[in-house]
């Protein structure tokens, strides 16, 4: 039987050499030679580049390549590399349910490699979401794979593709906070140079909207520091970067000034009240951050002036900030003051880092003064 298989493979590869262009025929010949010499590692590397050939992307040529060649040697190929190869093969199926079934069967064949199994599931999820619009099955795959990835240390070969699938799902579902989290993680797993400029711009724009609309998303510094935002500079969408900077610094005046720009986006215009609440909370956080730890008594009037809220709404704003863990402190209703003791850590921009440097300088001077005081007054303290 092994001889028959060998003959079948040899016959298939020979027929492909004779029926292909000279350039492609050389590729087929190279596959034949590597298979004959049983150089399976080199053959695997060759297949991983070969399946990307533009001339093989039409019709069912890759399906034929699998059924008449790869299927006979798949147990000799690294499981993860095999799934990477099959990602191109399944794109030529006309019946997407059949493609999912094919990948499910492949899970059993590569069960000895956890990463390969998870990658199969991710490819299934992509088909279910993008081709079959089966969001329920897609969500189950996302949940299952995420549980397995959480057990692993570091970033592996599956993370990038998983986060792309998850972020696409959450974006389609309008779950802004989840999209923001997974899309940022996706960008952390890939090299931006591997993405087209158009793809980078899309990620930047969608991330910008998600940062503004996401429930509980107050740490915008990580996105503002990411190079993907540079793709929107010198474009009509540059206003979104400026708006993110205004939110990060709690600049309500800038927010109001830019209303003609951001209100042109239906999703932002429809959530104007929530946007105003978010920037008011960020403004309160920025006020607290800028104050030295010895001067964090904020009056209701000061908060009202910065946030452009009526004084009678300030207490509710502070209560929301306290409830969401953005700040810690106590409200003095009688005197109309708030004593802040802590503000949630965030990724800082250059201006905020400058404020931190000044605070550290003041702290260093205070420590120095205390040191000098102890040196000059130590005798008095010790003889008390």
The helix or strand, by DSSP H or E, that contains position 145, with its residue range, turns out to be helix 135-150
What pLDDT does 379 receive?
Answer: 67
pLDDT at 264 over 70: yes
Residue 377 lies in a domain: yes
> pTM of the entire structure?
0.87
**Cβ pair 207, 225 in contact under 8 A:** no
DSSP character string of 89-124: HGGG-S-HHHHHHHHHHHHHHTTT-HHHHHHHHHHH
Q: State the pLDDT confidence band at 383, using cuts at 50, 70 and 90.
A: low
Phi/psi class of residue 325: alpha, beta or left (left: φ > 0; alpha: ψ in -120 to 50)? left
Q: 332: which strand partners?
A: 337
12-61 pLDDT, tens digit per residue, is 999 999 988 888 999 999 999 999 999 999 999 999 999 999 999 999 99
**Cross-strand pairs, 339:** 297, 330
Query: Is residue 363 over pLDDT 70?
Result: yes
Residues of 12-28 as b/e, b for ≥16 C-beta within 10 angstroms?
A: bbeebbeebeeebeebb
* 378 within a domain of the structure (yes/no): yes
3-state class of 356 per DSSP?
Answer: helix
State the average pLDDT over residues 298-312. 95
User: How far from 90 is each of 96, 156, 327, CA to CA, in Å?
Assistant: 8, 23, 51
State the residue range of the domain holding 360: 352-383
Q: How many structural domains is the chain composed of? A: 1
- Residue 367 belongs to a domain: yes
**In whole angstroms, what is the distance from residue 339 CA to residue 316 CA?**
15
pLDDT digits (tens, 9 = 90+) for 71-88: 999 999 999 999 999 999
> CA-to-CA distance for 383 and 374, rounded, in angstroms?
13
- DSSP classification of residue 228: G
Residue at 306 is within a domain: no
% of the chain at pLDDT higher than 90: 81
C-alpha to C-alpha distance for 126 and 123, rounded to whole angstroms: 5
* Pairing label, strands 337-343, 327-332: antiparallel
Residue 91 lies in a domain: no
**What gap in Å lies between CA 19 and CA 22, rounded to an integer?**
9
pLDDT of residue 368: 87
Which pLDDT belongs to residue 6?
Answer: 67
Tell me which of 181-195, 290-304, 355-369 is least confident: 355-369
Q: Are 240 and 224 in contact (CB under 8 A)?
A: no
CA distances from 278 to 14, 143, 163, 190 (A): 66, 29, 26, 30
Among the listed residues 54, 50, 52, 47, the one whose alpha carbon sits nearest the alpha carbon of residue 78: 47
- Does residue 237 contact residue 201 with C-beta atoms inside 8 Å? yes
- Average pLDDT (166-192) is 97
At residue 283, the pLDDT reads 97
The answer, yes or no, to whether residue 1 has pLDDT greater than 70, is: no
The pLDDT of residue 159 is above 80: yes
Is a pLDDT exceeding 50 seen at residue 2?
no
Q: Model confidence over 196-254: pLDDT tens digits?
A: 999 999 999 999 999 999 999 999 999 999 999 999 988 999 999 999 999 999 999 99
Burial class (CB in 10 A: 0-12, 13-18, 19+), 89: buried
Residue pair 268/262 in contact (Cβ under 8 Å)? The answer is: yes
In this prediction, residue 7 carries a pLDDT of 76
The DSSP symbol for 309 reads -
CA-nearest of 77, 79, 102, 76 to 89 is 102
How many helices, marked H, and strands, marked E, lie in the chain? 21, 3
- What pLDDT score was predicted for residue 382? 61
- Total count of residues recorded for the chain: 384
pLDDT at res. 366: 83
Q: Are 275 and 216 in contact (CB under 8 A)?
A: no
pLDDT at site 381: 61
The answer to whether residue 371 sits within a structural domain is: yes
| Residue 271 in this model has a pLDDT that exceeds 80 | yes
pLDDT at 296 over 90: no
pLDDT digit string, tens, across residues 95-131? 999 999 999 999 999 999 999 999 999 999 999 999 9
The per-residue pLDDT for 367 is 86
The mean pLDDT of 351-367, rounded to a whole number, is 80
* φ and ψ at residue 255, rounded to 5 degrees: -60, -45
Cα separation, 24 vs 42, whole angstroms: 18
Q: Is the pLDDT of residue 4 over 70?
A: no
pLDDT at position 384 over 70 = no
Answer whether residue 369 is part of any domain.
Answer: yes
- Please, are residues 331 and 319 in contact by the beta-carbon 8 Å criterion? yes
The answer to whether position 215 is within a domain reads no
- As a whole number, the mean pLDDT across the chain is 92
Q: What is the pLDDT of residue 371?
A: 83
> What does the DSSP assignment read for 212-275?
HHSTT----HHHHTSGGGGGGTTSTTHHHHHHHHHHHTT-HHHHHHTHHHHTTSHHHHHTHHHH
- CB 116, CB 77: distance < 8 Å: no
């Amino acid at each position: 039987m092994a001889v028959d298989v060998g003959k079948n493979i040899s016959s298939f590869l020979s027929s492909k050499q004779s029926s292909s262009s000279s350039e492609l025929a050389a590729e087929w010949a190279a596959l034949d030679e590597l298979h004959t010499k049983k150089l399976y590692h080199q053959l695997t590397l060759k297949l991983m580049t070969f399946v990307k050939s533009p001339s093989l992307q039409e019709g069912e040529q890759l399906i034929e390549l699998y059924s008449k060649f790869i299927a006979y040697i798949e147990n000799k190929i690294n499981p993860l590399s095999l799934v990477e190869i099959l990602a191109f093969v399944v794109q030529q199926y006309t019946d997407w349910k059949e493609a999912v079934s094919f990948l499910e069967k492949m899970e059993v064949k590569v069960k000895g490699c956890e990463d390969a199994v998870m990658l199969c599931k991710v490819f299934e999820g992509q088909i279910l979401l993008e081709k079959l619009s089966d969001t329920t099955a897609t969500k189950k795959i996302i949940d299952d794979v995420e549980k397995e990835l959480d057990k692993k240390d570091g970033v592996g070969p599956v993370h990038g593709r998983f986060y792309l699938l998850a972020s696409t799902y959450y974006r389609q579902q309008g779950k802004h906070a989840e999209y923001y989290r997974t899309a940022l993680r996706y960008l952390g797993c890939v090299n931006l140079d591997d993405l087209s400029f158009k793809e980078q711009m899309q990620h930047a724009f969608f991330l910008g909207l998600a940062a503004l609309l996401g429930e509980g998303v107050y740490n915008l510094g990580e996105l503002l520091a990411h190079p993907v935002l540079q793709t929107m500079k010198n474009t009509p969408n540059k206003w979104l970067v400026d708006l993110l900077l205004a939110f990060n610094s709690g600049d309500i005046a800038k927010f109001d000034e830019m209303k003609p720009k951001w209100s042109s986006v239906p999703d932002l215009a429809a959530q104007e009240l929530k946007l105003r609440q978010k920037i008011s909370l960020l403004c309160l956080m920025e006020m607290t951050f800028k104050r030295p730890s010895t001067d964090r008594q904020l009056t209701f009037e000061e908060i009202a002036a910065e946030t452009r809220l009526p004084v009678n709404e300030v207490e509710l704003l502070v209560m929301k900030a306290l409830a969401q863990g953005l700040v810690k402190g106590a409200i003095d209703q009688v005197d109309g003051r708030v004593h802040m003791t802590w503000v949630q850590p965030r990724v800082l921009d250059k201006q905020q880092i400058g404020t931190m440097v000044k605070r550290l300088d003041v702290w260093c001077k205070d420590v120095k003064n205390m040191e000098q005081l102890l040196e000059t007054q130590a005798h008095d303290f010790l003889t008390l």
